[in-house]
Amino acid sequence: MTQPVVHLWRLLKWGRTLARHGALKGIERDPNTPAPVRRLARVARFGARVPAKPAYADAFQAIGPAAIKLGQTLATRPDLVGDEAAHDLLRLQDQLPPVPFATIAAAMEASMGRPPSHFFSSIEETPVGAASIAQVHRAVTTDGRTVAVKVLRPGVEDDFTRAIDTYQWAAAQVEGMSPEAARLRPRLTVENFRRWTLRELNFRREAASASELAEAMTAEPDFMVPQIDWQRSTAKVLTVEWVDGIKLSNRQALVEAGYDLPHLAQTLVRAFLRQAIAEGFFHADMHQGNLFALPGNKIAAIDFGIMGRIDRRARVWLAEILYGLITGNYKRVAEIHFEAGYVPSHHNVAEFATALRAVGEPMRGLPVKDMSIGMMLDGLFSITRDFDMVTQPHLLLLQKTMVMVEGVATSLDPDINLWDSAAPFVREWIRTELGPEAKIADRLIEDVQTLARLPELVRRIEARYPAPGGEPPAPPLKAIEVVRIGGGWRYALISMLSAAAGVAATFAVLR
């Protein structure tokens, strides 16, 4: 078990790097920051040259791979790190210098059990991408297919384990320092980060996620998921179909190639809505570098290490919230928040509806160049403190992905209105899931399930109330009262424990 002094040393070392980039200013100035955290920030900053403008993303980049991933997680939490920091962290680029190919080849052989030449006729030694967790090489299989081979960086698992250990320790300390810190649930944020990271470090999980998403997206033929080469994939090596397209980040190349950019933007928005609302399973890292345009104005996605999942109940609430904001029905949106338990019941529904109106009304009917979902989320975060709303773990990734999708869509078509794009899909899904036909179907399913439970219910009744002449049920056990007469109750308790131990030993012998 790691000692607290080791955690403090790591935090001071990381804090020193944050201070040199001006990234501790917000912590020191925020009145809600617990005093011990503020003191630790001042110690870390002592003697450092602090720039006038904080560079949060650069600071996390300088600390290392685990910090990069943590920074990407914190970008979804403006309520926790502030609007300025969250916005800057969105530009974190998960890129590092590549590992020498000899090291990568050795790692492949150790994981696959045979030399890479047994599976691939050729592998390009220069990677096409090098990130904090893995790097990707283009290769040709022995049967002639061009593929992308993703290999886990050697030693990265130990680095992440050490860092996450300290993150969890620090979050636990902060959460106990004040009610406001407890409301923001930093331990839950770190726990989600830990689970997402463990999934990313297991490439079999990533392959399974890609396969599941491909099945879910059959209804969206313009959104493509590359096929997995299961025979050439392990927990540390992932081989997938090579995507030969243009990155959506290269707008000029897309224009020169004749792509219909507004159509691509609409395809992306619809694909995201189908994943998040209709399927409840979505690609949670849909930035421009992971999306490619293919011939026929199609979009292909890569990198399925971070996936989000929300159950049907949460999806119904999400769809109703989005549709309520789209149509201006703030009273219904407020009621949904109370029904879902997002807002404690001691608050007033009408007051919350008014607060939502203040967020949503200025943005309705405007093009995205004048308003955005990101702005809406910032507004929603600003009212969470007033209404004691706690963090909802199943919405963290969704919020981050919504901002990402919006950014990519508007880079393709600055005039796109996401409300208008989302409304038809959300309206149809609500009608399908919550309309009269759906209610009748749900009722029939519920009634059939009730009928199926009847035999078991009858058996339980018979067991509880046997026929005349049968053995009566045993009476409920009475609570044992501890008699406190001088010190005698101690001896009585010891005697009862000894007797219980004797009975347990007897049963152990008889078994």
Residues that are catalytic: 285
Place of tokens 């886990």: 152
Reported in sequence order, the residue ranges of 86-191 that DSSP labels E, i.e. its strands, are 120-123, 129-130, 134-141, 146-152
Spatial neighbors of 505 by CB under 8 A, at least 6 apart, are none
CA distances from 362 to 323, 356, 375, 376, 415 (A): 16, 11, 11, 10, 17
Q: Which residues contact 36 (CB under 8 A, 6 or more apart)?
A: 173, 177
Residue 439 DSSP SS3: helix
**Residue 390 burial (CB < 10 Å; 0-12/13-18/19+)?**
middle
Tell me how far apart the alpha carbons of residues 397 and 285 are, in angstroms, rounded to a whole number. Answer: 9
Contact (Cβ atoms closer than 8 angstroms) between residue 390 and residue 189: no
Token code pair at residue 147? 């593929």
Residues 6+ apart with CB under 8 A from 102: none
Contact 373/403 with Cβ under 8 angstroms? yes
